[in-house]
Amino acid sequence: MKNKGILYGIIAYTLWGVFPIYWKALKSLPPGEILSHRMVWSFLTLLGVLAVSRRWGWVRPALRQPRVLLTFFLTAALLSINWLTYIWAVNAGFIVESALGYFINPLVNVLLGMVFLRERLRPWQAVAVLIAAAGVLYLTITYGALPWIALTLAFTFGLYGLLRKTAVLNSLEGLSLETAWMFLPAFAFLAVQQVNGTAAFGQSSPLIHLLLIGSGLITALPLLLFGAAARRVTLITLGILQYIAPTLQFLIGVFVYDEPFSHVQLIGFSLIWVALVVYTGDAIMRQRRRQSRFAAPVSGISRDGL
């Protein structure tokens, strides 16, 4: 069971990691049009999944709860900003900086937990956050500007995760409601383009059509695999697997699309990688201590019984 969960997680994060190749194939289209197609086809894909699995029981209760609708309207807005920023960044030649955003996302989550959930920073978590902040500050000073793409991706996804953590719907149902919020404005935008004769759909190559339609599947599939993995493996394992995606994105940006990666960037990235090692090491050690505490009483009872 655990091995299957690890496999699902690896596939999910690998799919997320090779996203730049997919969006690069649609580079000829405006980011807003790509985003709108992703929203429309994601919603239709998820409707199909819900129909096949017959998971409609959540719809009516959700529609009767304004708090649930508002929460998922906000998560849909954050996800839209995240998706648009990422698609634009990839096609504008900023895959490496996009990868940086997802490298620092776990540390942003720690900060958001401290601010909004009143979680206390453990000492090594604090060290990791400070090292990562030093890396971001170094990149800001050397470039003369904030790495706004990375920070936008990290904070929108971090806030998205924060809201979803307190939401009542599971992954599939939640994403279905989010894409439902996205569907009407995205469909209206594409309809206006179609009427004006400026739409890519119907006027592009068969490959472009296939990629646009497939954007729904490539959005839903890794999320479904991630949900399956999350039910089978520990959060520590998922925390380690999550670095597959930004690592692949980084390698694709540097070695496939020849994006520049200077010694200045290397120093900044290295600080953030060190921060992630500290953060992950602390999480692993904490998990081991917790397991040993649970195991200790059991062994004590056994000795008394003997």
Domain that holds residue 59: 2-305
Q: How far apart are CA 129 and CA 131, in angstroms?
A: 6
Integer CA distances (angstroms), 29 to 15, 199, 228, in order: 22, 9, 33
* Domain count within the chain: 1
Q: How many CB atoms lie within 10 A of CB 239?
A: 16
Could you tell me the pTM of the whole model? 0.89
Phi-psi sector, 167: left (phi>0), alpha (psi -120 to 50), beta: beta
Q: pLDDT tens track of the chain, all 306 residues?
A: 557 888 999 999 999 999 999 999 999 999 999 999 999 999 999 999 999 999 999 999 999 999 999 999 999 999 999 999 999 999 999 999 999 999 999 889 888 988 888 888 889 989 999 999 999 999 999 878 889 999 999 999 999 989 988 888 888 899 999 999 999 999 999 999 999 988 988 888 999 999 999 999 999 999 888 888 877 887 678 888 889 999 999 999 999 999 999 998 999 999 999 999 999 898 888 878 877 776 655 444 433 343
